[in-house]
Copies of this chain bind each other. A is one copy, B any other.
Amino acid sequence: MLSFECDYNVGAHPEILEALLRTNMEPCPGYGKDPYTEQAREKIRMSCGREDADVRFLVGGTQTNRIVIDSMLKSYEGVIAATTGHISAHEAGAIEASGHKVLTVPGYDGKLSAQDVEALIDTFYADGSHEHMVFPGMVYISHPTEYGTLYTLAELQALSALCRRHAIPLFLDGARLGYGLMSRDTDVTLADIAALCDVFYIGGTKVGALCGEAVVFTHDNAPKHFFTTVKQNGALLAKGRLLGVQFDTLFTDDLYLRISQNAIDRAEELKTLFLEKGYSFFKSSPTNQQFILLSDEQIEALSKQVRFEIWERVDEGHCAVRFATSWATTSEDIAALREILSRVG
């Protein structure tokens, strides 16, 4: 069945599988000490425009968030996030399981405002009994957010400046970073992110890899013995090459950006299609996730012919649903959706 359910419903980009096949029988050292991993690290450093970036590879998003946050916080510190942030709502308490509170502020279509964050920090230090409370120790943002929205360069600069003023790291969750970078509505580049954040990750799982996220500590600031921390958390792959080969491929000839571009192009077509057919949008998203308002009857009718995700109930009778494109979505998929909408509409 036609599927716009999510951006991780098919396997890997063919060039990645080819690279895995091509390198398959070469003996390599384990645990990420192979030449492909080294090449991937170097290519990512170059793409970020930072020779002093320290790049590490992990397997999935929740794992990355948990390990990065825990390894950069002191035990008495928490991480500031939007209430809708992935670490706050949808990671089964992974951050708390590692010992840290998620300090929430309201999200605006998934985004933090620098003012709210500053207010939280100022209120904390103004409180005479703040030594009895969780210290704000890091700011977590996702870009694109869980609602597909993007920070502007000015917004990122404001967050970065306040973090540096308070000497706490800014961490950007880039599970879908490629789709953010190739959006038609962004003024933020990878180099900007590398310059403004202290740590971020470049998502592979949702952008063409079988699995894998590339963590970038932007200025030689990886926590000491991070390798051992990764091992202790059960996140070290014996065949580290699995991640190295994939990211080496993604960062060769801009594959990562090119396949992200496809998702954006298809998302724009999809957006146009829904608009033409008179549908309303729940949120305005400039990336690969599109949130559409459907009546329960529309959901029932459509879901017989195409897969999408129920996002949240909006009122009695209506839900917001998500249609996601990806590197793998084709123009034929959009055409097929057009036909379905014509029949159902």
Chain A residues in the interface with B (C-beta under 8 A): 1, 3, 5-6, 8-12, 14, 17, 20-21, 23-30, 59-67, 70-71, 74-76, 78, 89-97, 99-102, 128-129, 131-135, 205-206, 210-211, 224-225, 227-229, 231-239, 241-242, 307, 310, 328
A97 and B99 within 8 A (CB): yes
- Contacts A60-B236, A235-B234; A92 near B11 (Cβ below 8 A): no
- Chain B residues with Cβ under 8 A from A229's Cβ? 75-76, 92
A27 and B12 within 8 A (CB): no
- Contacts A92-B228, A224-B74; A61 near B238 (Cβ below 8 A): yes
Alpha-carbon distance A99/B211, docked complex (angstroms): 27
A92 and B76 within 8 A (CB): yes
B242 and A76 within 8 A (CB): no
A93 and B134 within 8 A (CB): yes
Among B12, B20, B74, the residue within 8 A (CB) of A225 is B74
Among B1, B28, B93, the residue within 8 A (CB) of A9 is B28
A239 and B225 within 8 A (CB): no
The 4 A-B residue pairs whose C-beta atoms are closest, nearest first, are: A63-B234, A11-B24, A3-B27, A93-B134
Alpha-carbon distance A242/B9, docked complex (angstroms): 11
Residue from A6, A232, A328 whose CB has the most chain B CB atoms within 10 Å: A232
B211 and A239 within 8 A (CB): yes
- Chain B residues with Cβ under 8 A from A225's Cβ? 74, 76, 131, 135
Sample of 6 A–B contacts (CB below 8 Å): A59-B237, A76-B225, A92-B229, A132-B231, A233-B234, A234-B234
Alpha-carbon distance A75/B64, docked complex (angstroms): 17
Give A171 Cβ to nearest chain B Cβ, in Å: 15
Give A336 Cβ to nearest chain B Cβ, in Å: 13
Alpha-carbon distance A310/B130, docked complex (angstroms): 13
A8 and B30 within 8 A (CB): yes
Contacts A8-B238, A11-B241 supplied; 17 other A-B pairs, CB < 8 Å: A9-B28, A17-B20, A17-B24, A60-B234, A60-B237, A62-B236, A63-B233, A63-B234, A74-B224, A75-B229, A92-B134, A94-B232, A96-B134, A205-B237, A211-B237, A211-B238, A233-B234
Give A212 Cβ to nearest chain B Cβ, in Å: 10
- Chain B residues with Cβ under 8 A from A96's Cβ? 78, 95-96, 99-101, 134
A24 (CB) vs chain B CBs: closest residue: B11
- Chain B residues with Cβ under 8 A from A310's Cβ? 128
A97 and B20 within 8 A (CB): no
